[in-house]
Amino acid sequence: MEDWQLKPARDLALPNPQRLRSVERENFLLDSALHLLWWPLVWSYLRLAHRLEVRGRNHLPSEPPFILVANHCSHLDALVLAAFLPVRLRDHVFPIAAGDLFFETPIRAVLATSVLNALPMWRRKCGPGSLLLLRQRLVEDPCGYILFPEGTRSRDGTMSAFKPGLGCLVAETPVAVVPCHLMGAFHSLPPWTSPARQTTAPAGNKLPGRPKPPFGGWRKRGNSMPSFLAEPTRKPSPALDPPSGPATRKCEQWLVGEWLYLASLRLCARSMAGNLAQRRKGRKVVNG
C-alpha cells in the first residue's frame, strides 16, 4: 500500500481567468460532477445519432500516462475519443485543443474546460515552454492526452503531415502512444459546417426556412462512425471529396443568402442603436 502524498494543486496561485487558459489547470469537484453528467449524454448521442462503434478497446492502457493520437477532420473527433474512456480516467485525460479557437473568449474557455476537460495549445505562439509544461505534467501526475498530430482539421478527409509536437512530448519517456483511426466523422460533421446546421433530411428533399449548406443536407440517417484503436497496420480508407458541379452552385447560392441575412441583421442593429441614441439625447435635453 502506497503512502498518501498530499500536494497543492498546480493552479492554486492562478486567478480564475488565467487558470482556465493554463495548461496547469486541475479539475475541481464541480468539474468532476459536470463530467459525470456530460459524458454519458455524449456517449448516448453518438450511439443513437451516429451509431458509434468502438473496436480495439483492449489496446487502451489501464492506467496513465498515455497519449491517444488520431486523424483529425471534424469537431466530433475529440468527443468520440473521450466518450468511450472509463469513468475513472475521464478526469485524468485532457484533449489538447486549439487555444486560439476554444479559449479565445471567457465563455468558450469555461465550456472547453468544464465540459470537454480540454487544455489549450496556442498554435501561433506555442514555444518550448508550453510543450515542456505538458510533458512534465504528463509524466509527473500522471495523466493522459488526446492529441491530433496534424495540428488542424483536414479539409478533404485525408491525413496531413504530422507536426513535431508529439515527438517533443514523448521522447525518452515511458509514455504509451496509442494510434487511433476515426472513420465517418468527416461525413457526419465536415469542417465547412456547424453542428447547429446539421440535418438528417433524406437526399433530394427541399429544406424550408433559411438557406442551408447543401453538404449537411445530404447526410442520410444511420451513418456509422466507428473508432479504431489498433496498430497502424493499414492506411486509412480515402474519404469522399466534397461535392462539385451543381453542388458548388448550390453552395454559392447558400453563401449569398447567408451574406444577405447577416447584412440585414447588421442594418437592423444599426437602426436600433440609432433609435436608442436619439432617445437618450432627447431625455438629456428634457432634463436640461
- pLDDT tens profile 6-25: 778 888 888 888 888 888 88
Low-confidence winner among 166-175, 185-194, 261-270 (lowest mean pLDDT): 261-270
93 within some domain: yes
Q: Are 22 and 110 part of one and the same domain?
A: yes
Q: Are 24 and 122 part of one and the same domain?
A: yes
| H-helix or E-strand spanning residue 49 | helix 29-49
Q: Are 273 and 155 part of one and the same domain?
A: no
Q: Are 137 and 268 part of one and the same domain?
A: no
Indicate the pLDDT class of residue 147, thresholds 50, 70 and 90: very high
Q: Are 214 and 266 part of one and the same domain?
A: no
Domain assignment of residue 111, given as a range: 16-193+203-243
Residue 215: its pLDDT value, please? 40
Name the domain count of the chain: 2
4 within some domain: no
Query: Residue 95 phi/psi, 5° resolution?
Result: -70, 135
Closest by Cα among 152, 145, 139, 136 to 180: 145
Q: What is the pTM (predicted TM-score) of this model?
A: 0.65
Low-confidence winner among 160-174, 179-193, 196-210 (lowest mean pLDDT): 196-210
267 within some domain: yes
Residue 225: its pLDDT value, please? 44
Closest by Cα among 46, 93, 110 to 74: 46
Q: Are 224 and 281 part of one and the same domain?
A: no
Residue 106: its pLDDT value, please? 87
Cβ proximity of 165 and 23 under 8 Å: no
198 within some domain: no
7 within some domain: no
Q: Are 256 and 279 part of one and the same domain?
A: yes
Query: Residue 97 phi/psi, 5° resolution?
Result: -110, 160
Q: Are 41 and 92 part of one and the same domain?
A: yes
9 within some domain: no
Strand-strand pairing, 225-229 and 176-182: antiparallel
Question: The cell 492526452 sits on which residue?
Answer: 145
Question: The cell 507536426 sits on which residue?
Answer: 163
Q: Are 219 and 85 part of one and the same domain?
A: yes
Q: Are 26 and 115 part of one and the same domain?
A: yes
Q: Are 144 and 273 part of one and the same domain?
A: no
For the chain, give the percent of residues with pLDDT over 90: 21
Q: Are 288 and 215 part of one and the same domain?
A: no
